[in-house]
C-alpha cells in the first residue's frame, strides 16, 4: 500500500510538472528584452545582468599579477623551444555535402507540422510609428509598413494558433518624428511537456535519419 502511494505521488508530480505553463515574452521598445516565465517565475534571457565591477586592486596586488604573467610567459617560451615542429598536414579530401542540411530541414518541417498548433502566439501590443527626417520618405515607409504588417498577421493567423486583439495592432505615421519607433510585446505560451516532447522527437528523428543515411 505504501509503495502504491509513493508511485502514485511520483506520477502525479510528473504530470503536474509536465503540464506546468511555460511562456516566452518578447518586448521591443527602447531595447530588446526576452524573458522566460516558468510557473510565473521570471527568468531573464536577454539582456544579461550586468557584471559586477571589480574592486580596484592595490599596487602590491597588481605587481604580483604582473610577476605571475611574466613567469607564465617564460614557461611557455621554454616549452616552445623544447618542442619539435609538427609535421605538415596533408590536404583533406573532404568535400562538403548538403545532406545534413537537407536532413535538418526535413526534421524541422515535420516538427513544425506536428507541433505548430500546440503553441499559442499572443500579441499584446504591436504599435509601429513610422517617421523619418524627410516627409516623402515617411510616406513611402508608411505605405510599405502598413500592408506588410497586415500580411504578416494574416499569415500567422492562418498557419499558427494566434490571439491578436484588434486594439493591440496599429501602424501610423508621424511626420515630426525623426525615426521609426516600435512598441511590441509578444507571448509564446505552451507547456513544459510540449517542449520536452518536441526536443525528444527531434533528437530521435535526427538519430534515426543519420543511421539510415550511414546504412545506405
At residue 167, the pLDDT reads 87
| 3-class secondary-structure state, position 54 | coil
At residue 89, the pLDDT reads 61
At residue 111, the pLDDT reads 85
Q: Tell me the pLDDT tens digit for each residue of 129-173.
A: 999 888 899 999 999 999 999 999 898 888 889 998 888 999 999
Cβ atoms of 189 and 29 within 8 Å: the answer is no
C-alpha cell at 141: 515607409
Q: Tell me the pLDDT tens digit for each residue of 10-48.
A: 999 999 988 999 999 999 988 889 999 998 899 999 887
d(CA 150, CA 158): 12
Q: Which of the residue ranges 5-19, 37-51, 190-204 would you say has the lowest mean pLDDT?
A: 37-51
Q: Tell me the pLDDT tens digit for each residue of 82-126.
A: 666 556 665 544 444 567 777 888 888 888 888 888 999 999 999
At residue 52, the pLDDT reads 66
pTM of the shown model: 0.70
With cell 545582468, the residue in question is 49
Q: Strand pairing partners for 128?
A: 171, 182
pLDDT at 3 over 90: no
d(CA 137, CA 180): 12
At residue 95, the pLDDT reads 45
Residues 6+ apart with CB under 8 A from 197: 115
Amino acid at each position: 500500500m505504501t509503495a502504491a502511494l509513493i508511485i502514485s505521488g511520483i506520477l502525479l508530480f510528473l504530470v503536474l510538472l509536465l503540464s506546468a505553463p511555460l511562456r516566452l515574452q518578447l518586448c521591443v521598445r527602447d531595447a530588446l528584452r526576452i524573458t522566460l516565465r516558468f510557473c510565473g517565475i521570471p527568468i531573464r534571457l536577454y539582456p544579461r545582468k550586468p557584471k559586477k565591477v571589480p574592486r580596484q586592486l592595490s599596487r602590491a596586488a597588481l605587481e604580483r599579477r604582473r610577476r605571475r604573467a611574466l613567469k607564465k610567459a617564460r614557461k611557455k617560451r621554454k616549452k616552445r623551444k623544447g618542442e619539435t615542429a609538427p609535421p605538415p598536414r596533408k590536404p583533406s579530401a573532404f568535400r562538403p555535402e548538403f545532406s545534413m542540411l537537407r536532413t535538418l530541414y526535413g526534421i524541422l518541417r515535420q516538427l513544425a507540422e506536428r507541433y505548430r498548433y500546440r503553441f499559442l502566439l499572443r500579441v499584446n501590443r504591436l504599435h509601429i510609428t513610422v517617421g523619418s527626417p524627410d516627409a516623402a520618405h515617411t510616406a513611402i515607409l508608411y505605405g510599405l509598413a502598413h500592408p506588410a504588417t497586415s500580411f504578416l498577421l494574416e499569415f500567422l493567423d492562418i498557419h499558427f494558433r494566434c490571439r491578436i486583439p484588434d486594439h493591440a495592432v496599429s501602424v501610423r505615421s508621424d511626420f515630426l518624428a525623426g525615426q521609426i519607433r516600435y512598441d511590441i510585446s509578444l507571448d509564446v505560451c505552451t507547456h513544459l511537456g510540449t517542449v520536452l516532447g518536441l526536443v525528444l522527437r527531434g533528437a530521435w528523428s535526427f538519430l534515426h535519419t543519420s543511421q539510415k543515411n550511414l546504412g545506405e
